[in-house]
Structure 1
Amino acid sequence: METIRKIKINLRKQLFIALATLAGSLFILPSCDSDNVGENLYTFKSKMMGQFLADSADFSEFARLLDTTKVISLLNTYGTYTCFAPTNEAMRTFYQSRGKKSLDDFSMDSLKLIAYDHLINGAEVLYSNFVVGRLPQMSMSDRYLAISFGQNGEAFVNKTSKIIQNNVVVHNGVIHFIDEVLNPTREGIVEVISADPKFSLFYEALLATGLADSLVRYKDDTYDPDNFKHLITVTRESNQWYYHEIPLSRKFGYTLFVESNETYAENGITNLAAMKAYAANIYNTVYPNDAQITDITDSRNSLNRFIAYHIINKQLSYSKLIDAYDTGHMLKTIDMYEYLETMCPNTLIEVKKDRLKGKTNILNYIRETGRAINITSNYDIDAVNGVYHEIDGILAYDQYVETEHSTKRLRFDGSSFFPELTNNNMRGRGITSPGPGPNLQFKLPRNYIDRLSTSEQTIVSYLTADARYQNYEGDEIFLGATSGNLYDFSIITPPIPAGTYEVRFGYLTNGKRGVAQLYLDNIPAGVPLNLNNYATDVSIGYETPRTVQADMDGFENDKMMRNRGFMKGPACYKVVQPGWSDGENARYSPAALRRIMGTYIFPEASNHLLTVKGLSGGEFMFDYLEFVPTSVLESEDIY
């Protein structure tokens, strides 16, 4: 407490000196007596970040670190930075914890890494931008920073480093003072789990099944972003409404949902043999033809399936399971769903956000019984190539989950198909424009996405969420072709349970699209689709709900549109900033459409192939895909 008061007094002195130099200035100093930080704004616009830290006696050790590594020169240049600055006491405690006496005992590479752990380049992240979970902006050491809040409202970085003063605004960014040095692990997800005795049984099974060997990748060293700079044709400096970036790396990532030894014991699982028996009881029922497979390293074995069902090949922090996609586009009265493909072949985990209950990250909710798996408070356990979350029950793809997933509408946002967008911090950044800047659009090199194959002439982009887009979750996959050519691409979908489905393609028209032929599993999906046509075109026949006296809800119009192979957009999302399109939600917009591709019988659970071939020039956008069991069509809602 005394350290915090001392820092605040010194901060007030600096503020007084800075303001006193402005002749004739009138100012009011904010109160600094409380240890509950809250959100105050201290402004030192006359100082660069590096200069401010160098002038602050309470942060002289951190400033010396920045000076030794030459990073301080970066912080004295124009740009935008966020700094989490540890106090002198925090730095000395860190030295002791590492068996060192001072900065002089560390290698230069280690010192640079420590400095970069505390800095974000390119963004000013104020206290008001903090949300529970990882920040969308990564540190200069290429690591995520996670925010949490204590019972008294105090904020923490990476769970243990308390923010003792926030929002110290300087000329080129913002500084938050912290009481503990940030020291993220440099180990992989398997090593991190192995170090926690609470999860020793899961770790034992992870090794025994050989699945641990599937979790070692971190980065594709063959990917060189310099080879693809030519894809950037609009820079941020061009001051247009959007700009291009290319992925700076091609990283892999993993998410594990893990039960503790205690949770296993509550369910009669106290050793590997008991886990084998438990898994066999579930998976030999769902997959009876594989019941005789005893090799636990075989992906068809029941224990292997049991462990593999806990693993996702995306790095999904707590907020990126579903909350990060709950942009202003999504209606806050309608439940949200996200579907995660697991390493257990041809299976999904459903993530639900229940609006009425105010709960998020509900796993595999069963409507008939109310059964669900929840994430405990022990979440976002970080590793260099992944994250794991503790869960409160046994996660398994049993017959109840299989039935649940095969008897409801499955809607997939287009960007959810591709782990690369999540693992490389493209998806889930929230609305990027308008506001802080123009819309961020990632140009994706050919073969960057494993499940997307394209012709050489096809150009692929991922457009982050924009308030002016009337898109599901705000973002979209955008495709085009080089001059004089047509796009041609194929996408592998997530696995769909066996059954008979109506498959729908969701898109937004703007009058600039082309004509394309859609295929599912290499079979043409009806006649070519003219993406130029608004829903009001006579070939579609859209009528805005509440505009026809005899059909105020628009249900009769829905039937007529279905007969022509189209549907209105779902009523669960809207455009945040009307202009390019409008309507109180997508159902009320003639620009938001669903094309009914057809009815398909899937004899077994499997992935499917969506192919699109351009037939005329123009753009192509992919918003979402729906798989709807024909058994629920009559009772399906408008959302």
Structure 2
Amino acid sequence: MNNKFSINKLVTRCLGSLLLLGVLFGMNSCKDEVDTSNMFTATEQSIFEYIDSVPEYSSMAYIFRQVKLGEKTDASPLSSVLAAYGNYTCFLPNDSAVAEYVKTLHKDTTDVHYLSYDEMKQIAYSCIIDNGTSTAYTYSNFQTDGSLPLSNLADRQLTVKRDTTDKGIYINGTSKLTSWNIKTSNGYIHTVNAVISPSTSSVSELVAEAGNMRVMAYLLELTGWYTTIDNTDYDHEYEETDHEEYETQVISSQPNTKFAIPQRRYLGYTLFSETDDVYARALGITIPDGELSDDTKKEILAALKVKAESVYGTAEEGNYKAATNAINRYVAYHLLPGRFAYNDLVRHYNEYGYSWGSDAVNPQLQNFSVDVWDYYCTAGQDRYLLKTLQVPSGEHEIYLNRKSEYNDERDGDYQEVRNVVPGLLISADNGEYDNNASNGMYFPISTGDKLLMYDWDVKNRVLNDRLRIDLVAMLPELISNNLRGKKYKGTYNYEVFPVGFFDNIIDESEETNVTYLINTGSAGWRDYQGDEFLFAGLFDFTLKLPPVPVDGTYEIRMGTSNNPNRGMAQIYFGEYNNMKPTGLPVDLRVGATQEFRNSISWVADADATDENDIIQNDKNIRNQGWMKAPYYITVCNGKGDSPLRDDISGYSTPCMRKIIGTADMKAGVQYYLRFKTCLNDPTSEFFVDYFEIVPKSIYNGVDPEDIW
């Protein structure tokens, strides 16, 4: 592993601590309103100084002195790192908790000195999160079930669970917070009653270990997906290449900005799995306790085969490892390529009515305004679409393949008025069984009697909709590396990716710089979900599109936010060997004056004389190949109160949707978009944010398409 980032950052922090020590103490005062019986007041000690000063934490003090940050021989011990300037979150077990953990590894002793270096490293790296330039996590960040946004030093996201029985908060499933918000000069300490120790098992191994997932474990083994998942962790070839920590001069508008280069390329899978009792109800059979017998397996397979073949066909019947076999397709539709934490299944940022709170980089996850959803391609050769949706009410449940109707009039609020397809409820955890694997996670479907299928309802009702898909949702590698909407290593706002980093961005020219940018609080940003891609340089690349659910005519659009720094591209569409130009090149540089608005007949709704005038204006804009931005998306001011539809805050240019074109598309056929620069200008920056794939029944249906 390349550790340039860690060591360089350490040097910077050590120097910074010498220069700024006198003014840092007392900053960032804690404002959380919590039970004061478990809350400590601020201390002027660093994290390590505090740990070293309290006798009951002597075991962790010893471990931090032994373990180094990185693999180099001259790497600094964590005792030094945690004594320097920074923002760290520490989940601290006492000596008794460490002793109990030692006993699980070495039956005859509880002495911390018997631990190997790798065992100590696992303990040390697992309990520390480097928050970089952001504030370390406090008790207020532990109020929602799911995962903490930033990974720990072992590059693992830690889960948070609020226990409804003992009212406790558990980190990583088994480590209960016993006190919190011990404020130090370089972060916060939260004490726990057990060592943080994320599982080293794969997703398939954890499913096999779970007593309520016996059917799925059997199906994974039967179809060969068990081995596929088990062997997927990270890109070993990418590891063999030495990558610099960052690059500058990546885009012309920000020549001195540091764009981080990911040091690893993590891969993995996320599984949605029905529990055994759901299978029993759905298949109408009895599944006895204990290990599944051969007779029970035959009964399960026979009942499931009937259901699966009615949806996926009878190709390769009996050959369960074949990609077109119905059972194989059934299992593949339960898998997403990529490591998704529960909180990353949807992205809250600038949807209508939502306020992100005090920190733009860590949006609050407790108060929501409207339904939020994403679409993802599942595993297997078919890549069938799966929809995830989180509701704003109750416990903010997340559903798979849920469809509702909304108050989507011009003066509406986009609240649900009728549920059409209930969808399948998923859980953030699996109770007593660990679901946070070394190469992904799994989420139980534990209620009802329905199985997750790509059936008629999904294809013709759930997905017969305007499919608005952020580019991030098409790139599982970005989510697997925990970069979605987050600062890289807690520090860098922007990243640049080597050619070939993304499987769904292909045929990149060597001159193509693929960059990813997140908003850190600027009210001037107007990006869906608060992030964007800029394809810089003499770019030429091809994007692999998600599949359409049914045969039909579709309109393809892309969100735009023009400014003079943007580029111009010829866009091509079609099957891989038959891509054709979609029309004239798209110039995203235009719009710095009123000229662009005039050229597309753009008039703000507020300036229209009446409803009919607004409708006519929308038609005029469509005739020019454009549409106003959705009302659902708002300016990134953290308030959710300024819809992009009429916004002209950026360079006096309205945010728009460019209609790339319409095409007859078939389910099961792979389509692509190619973007090739039309400028001999290495400083151009072509903006890509989100796409819409819209069936004719929506864009040219009986009822006009809504503005949302």
Per the TM superposition, whether the score is higher than 0.5 is yes
| 1:141 and 2:154 matched | yes
Give the SS at the match of 1:556: helix
* Residues 37/195 of structure 1: CA separation in 2 closer, same or farther (3 Å cut): farther
Aligned match of 1:385: 439
1:42-53 to 2 correspondences below 5 Å? 42-45=41-44, 47-53=45-51
1:251 equivalent in alignment to 2:285: no
**Of 449, 469, 475, which aligns to 2:502?**
449
**Structure 1 residue 311 displacement after superposition:** 1.0
**How far apart are residue 405 of structure 1 and its match?**
4.1
Question: What amino acid sits opposite 1:73 in the alignment?
Answer: S
Q: State the partner residue of 1:320.
A: 344
CA distance in 2, matches of 1:515, 1:74: 46
Measure the CA separation in 2 of the matches of 1:450 and 1:475: 20
2:698 corresponds in structure 1 to: 632
Q: Structure 2: which amino acid aligns with 1:455?
A: S
CA contact (8 A) 1:225 1:249 kept: no
* Matched-pair contact (CA < 8 Å) for 1:439–1:463: no
Change in Cα spacing, 1:458 to 1:383, as seen in structure 2 (3 Å) is: same
With 332-341 and 611-620 compared, the bigger mean Cα shift is at: 332-341
Superposed, 1:231-250 pairs within 5 Å as 232-233=247-248, 243-250=258-265
Q: Does the CA contact (< 8 Å) of 2:532 and 2:688 recur in 1?
A: yes
Q: Which amino acid aligns with 1:387?
A: M
Work out which of the residue numbers 65, 68, 71 in structure 2 matches 1:67. 65
Compared CA separation, residues 241 and 56, structure 1 to 2 (3 A)? farther
Is 2:417 the partner of 1:417?
A: no
Q: What pairs with 1:26-45 in structure 2 (closer than 5 Å)?
A: 36=35, 40=39, 42-45=41-44
Q: CA deviation at 1:198?
A: 1.5
Pick aligned residue for 2:665 from 591, 596, 602: 602
AA aligned to 1:403 is N
> Which deviations, in whole Å up to 9, do the C-alpha atoms of 1:384-408 show, x marking residues without a partner?
0011011034211112112124421
Do the aligned residues in 1 keep the contact of 2:157 with 2:341 (CA within 8 Å)?
no
Q: Per the alignment, in what secondary structure is the counterpart of residue 571 of structure 2?
A: strand
Tell me the secondary structure at the aligned position of residue 272 of structure 1.
Answer: helix
1:51 and 1:357, CA in 2 relative to 1: closer, same or farther beyond 3 A? closer
CA separation of 1:553 and 1:327: change in aligned 2, threshold 3 A: farther
Unaligned runs of 5+ in 2: 1-21, 23-29, 68-76, 288-295, 355-368, 405-418, 649-653
Task: Assess, with a 3 A threshold, how the Cα gap between structure 1 residues 479 and 604 changes in structure 2: closer, same or farther.
Answer: same
Checking the alignment, whether the CA contact within 8 Å between 1:458 and 1:479 is kept in structure 2 is yes
> Is 1:221 aligned to 2:236, yes or no?
yes
Aligned to 2:200: 186
How far has the Cα of 1:95 moved from its partner?
A: 2.4
Over 3 Å counting, the alpha-carbon distance change for 1:63 and 1:282 in structure 2 is same
What's the counterpart of residue 85 of structure 1?
92
Q: Matches of 1:310 and 1:335 in 2, distance apart?
A: 22
**Paired residue for 1:473?**
529
Structure 1 position 489 matched with structure 2 position 504: no
Deviation at 1:243, TM superposition (A): 3.7
Deviation string, structure 1 residues 342-366 (Cα, Å, up to 9, x no partner): 1241311111123366643211125
1:35, CA displacement in angstroms? 11
Give the deviation of 1:41 after TM superposition.
5.7
Does the C-alpha gap of structure 1 residues 225 and 552 become closer, same or farther in structure 2, counting only changes over 3 Å?
farther
Which residue of 2 is the match for residue 12 of structure 1? none
Distance 1:39 1:518 in 2: 59
The 3 A distance-change label for structure 1 pair 292 and 299 is closer
1:127 equivalent among 119, 139, 142: 139
Shift of 1:165: 1.4
2:298 to 273, 290, 293: 273
Shift of 1:622: 0.6
Partner of 1:461: 515
SS of 1:42's equivalent in the other structure is: coil
Contact 1:502 1:630 in 2 (8 A): yes
- Whether the 8 Å CA contact 1:86–1:181 is kept in 2: the answer is yes
Give a deviation string over 1:206-253, Cα, whole Å, max 9, x none: 111111122121111221486342851179xxx999642111201111
Partner residue in 2 for 1:76: 83
Report the AA paired with residue 626 of structure 1.
E
Residue type matched to 1:574 in 2?
A: T
Cα distance in 1 for partners of 2:115, 2:491 equals 41
Code of the residue aligned with 1:373 in structure 2: it is L
Match of 2:72 in 1: none
Amino acid at match of 2:454: Y
Q: Residues of 1 paired with 2:465 and 2:49: CA distance?
A: 59
Further displaced range: 509-518 or 381-390: 509-518
- Letter aligned with residue 43 of structure 1: A
CA deviation after TM superposition for structure 1 residue 558, in Å: 0.7
Coordinate RMSD, CA, aligned: 3.0
Change (3 A) 1:437 1:202: closer
* C-alpha distance in structure 2 between counterparts of 1:106 and 1:438, whole Å: 32
Distance (whole Å) between structure 2 residues aligned to residue 487 and residue 529 of structure 1: 14
Q: Any conservation in 2 of the 1:381–1:389 contact (CA below 8 Å)?
A: yes
Displacement of 1:293 in angstroms is 2.7
Aligned to 1:117: 126
Equivalent-residue separation in structure 2 for 1:470 and 1:62 (angstroms): 46
**2:548, 2:666 within 8 Å by CA — same for their partners in 1?**
no
Deviation at 1:334, TM superposition (A): 3.7
TM-score by length of 1: 0.86
- Partners of 1:36 and 1:585 in 2: CA distance: 39
Aligned partners of 1:629, 1:82: CA distance in 2, in Å? Answer: 47
TM-score in terms of structure 2 length: 0.78
- Give the distance between the partners of 1:38 and 1:219, measured in 2 at CA: 44
1-structure distance, mates of 2:151, 2:245: 25
| Partner amino acid, structure 2, of 1:148 | K
Pair 1:348 & 2:362 matched: no
**What is the CA–CA distance in structure 2 between the aligned matches of 1:58 and 1:477, rounded to whole Å?**
49
Shift in alpha-carbon separation, 1:355–1:78, aligned structure 2, 3 A: closer
1:198 maps to which of 187, 195, 212: 212
Aligned equivalents of 1:321 and 1:62: distance in 2? Answer: 35
Is the contact between residue 315 and residue 386 of structure 1 (CA under 8 Å) also seen in structure 2? yes
Is the Cα contact below 8 Å between 2:556 and 2:660 reproduced in 1?
A: yes
Pair 406,574 (structure 1): closer, same or farther in 2 beyond 3 Å:
closer
C-alpha spacing 1:475/1:225, structure 2 compared with 1 (3 Å): farther
2:310 maps to which of 285, 295, 298: 285
Q: Is the 8 A contact 1:242 1:438 kept in 2?
A: no
**Pair 1:537-2:592 in alignment:** no
Deviation, structure 1 residue 177: 1.0
Amino acid at match of 1:470: R
1: CA distance, partners of 2:91 / 2:543: 41
Match among 552, 556, 566 for residue 503 of structure 1: 556
Q: Tell me if the contact between 2:351 and 2:370 (Cα under 8 Å) persists in the aligned partners.
A: no
**Percent identity at matched positions?**
28
SS at match of 1:575: coil
Matched, 1:612 2:675: yes
Q: CA shift at 1:52, angstroms?
A: 1.1
Residues 200 and 230 of structure 1: CA distance in aligned 2, closer, same or farther (over 3 Å): closer
Q: Describe the SS at the equivalent of 1:443.
A: strand
2: distance between equivalents of 1:465 and 1:625?
19
Amino acid at match of 1:514: G
Find the counterpart in structure 1 of residue 223 from structure 2.
Answer: 209
1:335 aligned onto 2:371: yes
Q: Which residue identity does 2:678 align to in structure 1?
A: L
Cα offset, 1:511, TM superposition: 2.3
Specify the alignment match of 1:294 in structure 2.
318
Provide, for residues 118-154 of structure 1, a one-character-per-residue CA deviation record: whole Å limited to 9, x for no partner: 1112442222333431111111122111122233654
For the 8 Å contact 2:245–2:260, the answer to whether it is kept is: no
The match for 1:574 is 634
CA contact (8 A) 2:387 2:401 kept: yes
CA distance in 2, matches of 1:525, 1:584: 32
What residue is the counterpart of 1:370 in the other structure?
Answer: 421
